[in-house]
Amino acid sequence: MRLPKAPLKFYSPKDSADTQESLPNSIVLELRKSLLSWYNYSHRNLPWRRSPEPYKIWVSEIMLQQTQVKTVIPYYERWLAKFPNIEHLAAADLQDVLKAWQGLGYYARARNLHKASQEIVERHGGLFPHRLEEVLALPGIGRTTAGGILSLAFNLPVAILDGNVKRVLARLMALPVPPAKASKQLWQMSETLLDPQNPRDFNQALMDLGATICTPHNPACLLCPWQPHCEAYNLGMQSELPMREVSAPIPHKIIGVAVIWNDERKILIDKRRQTGLLGGLWEFPGGKLEEGETLEACIQREIQEELAIDIEVGEHLITIEHAYTHFRVTLNVYHCRHLSGIPQPLECDEIRWVTLDEIDQYPFPTANVKIIEALRQYVGKRGK
């Protein structure tokens, strides 16, 4: 039978949400030493750790926002081959940047990388800044991302608090509230524990601990260097922490999508406005189904409202289910024929008629890529 150790009182449930008790210095030193020792032989061999070049580390930190390492690595390598430094990225066309990002999601990250690279060239002579306030002023960089870049690239003692770190600290402290309700306390803990002599390895070790040992489900507590001091483990609550907030049901949107053909066998695509979830990407036009409306009527209405043209809705091509972070969609895609009117970009930045062979030149959201694949299969079966 495992007997719990005396609590370290990182965080007291009896206190208000703004109160945190200090850690004894001896415990802080022990936690630093044990984590760095574990990292010395257990660290992940990640490509952005092989060079302290700030640009490469910056790109990796942005790509890793809400995206798993295994997904990021091939994108990261292709990105550096196409945009090897800040100057190349700053000089690139945004459409090329979005195309290189295609499939990675959260496209604002790519737009911000591009915009920030131009600011670095203009304001910092093409050199990534190493002052925290200057880094935070760049588009798309928050406190955690800034800490990751500055500690890894410059070995500066700046704390981090990404999802993995929140989970590790919440269990270490046996945090009695969801992490979102204790952001101040978690930042204080991250700053307290940070090793000022070796912030580069410490922050990377903390992220690795969360990614490989202190995982969301079935944490490998017996392999954890912090197990002796982990309040969640001592209380047998590691599977229950961190606490989760009750989430509202995810909205579901039914969308009618038009693949519009003209007499030259070209397809109409439009480019979304630069802001928003998929800003700057190309797509097949369409919109949300209204109550009591058929999909065919929805598509005709949306195309008239968005492009000011009349179409004939034909056969069904494909239905695609796709989930985003805060909602999910069902795309009902139909072949359509252009009847009359000159397309106008009323609710988009630009429109183009393209052939199926030309369409790969344009960056599309993942769900629209599936439409392109279905189109190729359709054309292949019937012949060009």
Task: Extract the tokens encoding 207.
Answer: 């992220």
Whether 13 maps to a domain, the answer reads no
Do 220 and 137 lie in one domain? The reply is yes
Do 221 and 259 lie in one domain? The reply is no
Find the domain containing 149 and state its range.
25-234
Residue positions annotated with a catalytic role: 61
Whether 159 maps to a domain, the answer reads yes
Whether 5 maps to a domain, the answer reads no
Do 163 and 282 lie in one domain? The reply is no
Q: How much is the pLDDT for 18?
A: 41
Q: How much is the pLDDT for 51?
A: 86
Strands (E), the chain: 252-261, 267-271, 282-283, 286-288, 310-323, 328-340, 350-354
Q: How much is the pLDDT for 383?
A: 65
Do 219 and 275 lie in one domain? The reply is no
Burial 290-319 (b: 16+ CB within 10 A, else e): eeeeebbebbbebbeebbebebebeeebbe
Do 175 and 33 lie in one domain? The reply is yes
DSSP 300: H
Cα separation, 243 vs 241, whole angstroms: 5
CATH number reported for the structural domain that contains residue 302 in this entry: 3.90.79.10
Tell me how far apart the 2 most distant CA atoms of the chain are, in Å: 79
- Boundary residue ending a domain (234, 262, 277): 234
Do 70 and 148 lie in one domain? The reply is yes
Do 263 and 202 lie in one domain? The reply is no
CATH number reported for the structural domain that contains residue 106 in this entry: 1.10.340.30
Do 31 and 107 lie in one domain? The reply is yes
Ranges of the chain whose pLDDT falls below 50: 1-8, 11-20
Task: Extract the tokens encoding 52.
Answer: 């302290």
Whether 10 maps to a domain, the answer reads no
Could you give the 3-state DSSP secondary structure of residue 43? coil
Do 315 and 229 lie in one domain? The reply is no
